[in-house]
């Protein structure tokens, strides 16, 4: 096996993220992926280039998208000899694709590759129910008219015609991610006002970043959009305070609202990674280096907070790299919900949690909040599930390029009680 090599982050692009059932309602995952990969190919002059791997993913996808990455690659302008793999780990999908590509580069298996993802909550797969599915399969297997007639009408009920939509709840608990996060907010005593402030700041930071041109080479226009249509530069704490609880609507203690939770959104993103030799040979600037990554999971079925796994993954990642939580210049923590971010930060400061759950002698401690999501994050720009990872990697790499040096901690919580985290540096 080859000695691990350094993995260069050369940059990334995305289309503007948008609220579901708006600009991209009829595009679908393949269309968004093709547009984004094509834009990345154009940005880096990769027309006809054979790369070692294109890893893309989607969480909500039709069965026809089983080979999504390869199909998008064939329409991207890359050499048709470039392979593609389609992956999924809920909200961590995009970061996981980049970890996969980075590991292959580090081991010398490939020289360059692309990772990313897309998701649409506008064009979701709608299925027939189990009884109708069985009826249609029996009808297809029938060989005589009598068998076909029996398969079609025997025991038929109009209830069978009711379609099944993708579930938004955790199969093992029946609760939505928002309901789980609401329970976390109560456990960690996260006030509504703090959640609204984090959401407000996310919008303000993202709007300011657009105004100064930070996203000019990261976001490519698509379908008449030049920026994320979820972004509200004119929102205020007063407006956010008027919104009603979105998940706990009856107890009078609900704190998660549509304003401090991510919107259902559509979009796609992709980032280019390479070996140092490949980058040099192709004349590409290295924005940052992909240092390390870690995944973890929690036992949410038996009481742990569904979205707390990043706290564990970060502790393991810091230990392996001999770093402290304060050894970073930027923190990119995915804002699935404002409460989730605040629970994570509070857990790292908790002596009890760090000792009894993370196995540490002392708390990881507080971070400098001025370094957190400095150009906004998911609450402001949206969260097309599989597209978030590459968005964050490309954003973090550009922040380091602007600064000239430094280190970024990246953290993404996912459905199913998992977390995916990474370190990049320049």
Residues 6+ apart with CB under 8 A from 36: 13, 14, 15, 116, 118, 220, 268, 269, 270
Q: Which two tokens stand for residue 381?
A: 């720009």
> CB–CB of 297/409 below 8 Å?
no
DSSP-derived pairing of the beta strands 288-297 and 265-275 = unpaired
* CA 246/CA 182 separation, integer angstroms: 10
Q: Which two tokens stand for residue 357?
A: 């759950």
DSSP string, 162-202: S-BPPP-B-TTT--BHHHHHHHHHHHTT--HHHHHHHHHHH
In order of start, what are the domains of the chain with their CATH numbers? Answer: 177-214+291-425 (3.40.47.10)
**pLDDT for res 133:** 79
Taking the chain (426 residues) in consecutive chunks of 10 residues, what is each chunk's mean pLDDT?
84 97 95 98 98 96 90 98 97 98 98 97 80 81 81 78 75 94 97 98 98 98 97 96 96 96 96 98 98 98 97 98 98 98 98 97 98 98 97 98 98 97 98
* CA 28/CA 62 separation, integer angstroms: 9
| pTM of model > 0.85 | yes
**Residue written as tokens 């000792």?**
355
* CA 351/CA 8 separation, integer angstroms: 37
**pLDDT for res 1:** 45
Backbone angles phi, psi at 19, to 5 degrees: -60, 145
Residues classed as catalytic: 91, 383, 413
Q: What share of the chain is helix, strand, coil (3-state, %, to 5)?
A: 40, 20, 40
**pLDDT for res 155:** 81
Q: Is 71 helix (H, G, I), strand (E, B) or coil?
A: helix
**pLDDT for res 404:** 98
């Amino acid at each position: 096996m080859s000695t691990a090599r350094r993995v260069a982050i050369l940059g990334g692009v995305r289309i503007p993220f948008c609220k579901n059932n708006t600009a991209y309602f009829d595009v679908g995952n393949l269309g968004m992926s093709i547009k984004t990969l094509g834009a990345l190919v154009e940005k880096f002059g990769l027309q006809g280039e054979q790369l070692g791997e294109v890893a893309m993913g989607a969480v909500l996808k039709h069965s026809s998208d089983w080979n999504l990455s390869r199909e998008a690659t064939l329409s991207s302008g890359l050499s048709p000899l470039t392979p593609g793999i389609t992956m999924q780990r809920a909200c961590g999908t995009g970061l996981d694709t980049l970890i996969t590509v980075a590991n292959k580069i580090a081991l010398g298996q490939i020289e360059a590759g692309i990772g990313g993802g897309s998701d649409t909550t506008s064009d979701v797969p709608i299925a027939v129910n189990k009884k109708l599915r069985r009826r249609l399969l029996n009808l297809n297997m029938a060989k005589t008219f009598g068998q076909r007639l029996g398969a079609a009408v025997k025991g038929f009920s109009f209830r069978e015609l009711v379609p099944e939509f993708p579930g938004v709840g955790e199969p093992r608990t029946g609760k939505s991610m928002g309901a789980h996060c609401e329970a976390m907010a109560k456990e960690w005593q996260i006030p509504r006002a703090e959640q609204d402030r984090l959401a407000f700041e996310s919008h303000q930071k993202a709007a300011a970043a657009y105004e100064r041109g930070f996203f000019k080479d990261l976001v490519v226009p698509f379908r008449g959009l030049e920026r994320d249509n979820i972004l509200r530069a004119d929102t205020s704490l007063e407006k956010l305070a008027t919104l009603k609880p979105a998940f706990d609507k009856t107890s009078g203690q609900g704190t998660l609202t549509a304003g401090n939770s991510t919107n259902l959104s559509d979009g796609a993103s992709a980032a280019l990674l390479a070996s140092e030799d490949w980058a040099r040979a192709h004349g590409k600037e290295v924005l940052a280096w992909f240092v390390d990554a870690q995944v973890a999971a929690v036992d949410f079925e038996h009481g742990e907070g569904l979205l707390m796994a990043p706290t564990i993954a970060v502790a393991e990642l810091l230990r392996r790299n001999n770093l402290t939580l304060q050894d970073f210049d930027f923190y990119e923590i995915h804002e699935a919900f404002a409460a989730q971010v605040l629970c994570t930060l509070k857990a790292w400061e908790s002596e009890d949690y760090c000792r009894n759950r993370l196995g540490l002698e002392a708390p990881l401690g507080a971070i400098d909040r001025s370094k957190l999501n400095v150009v906004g994050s998911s609450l402001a720009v949206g969260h097309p599930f599989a597209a978030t990872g590459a968005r964050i990697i490309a954003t973090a790499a550009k922040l380091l390029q602007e600064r000239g040096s430094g280190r970024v901690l990246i953290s993404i919580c996912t459905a199913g009680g998992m977390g995916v985290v990474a370190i990049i540096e320049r």
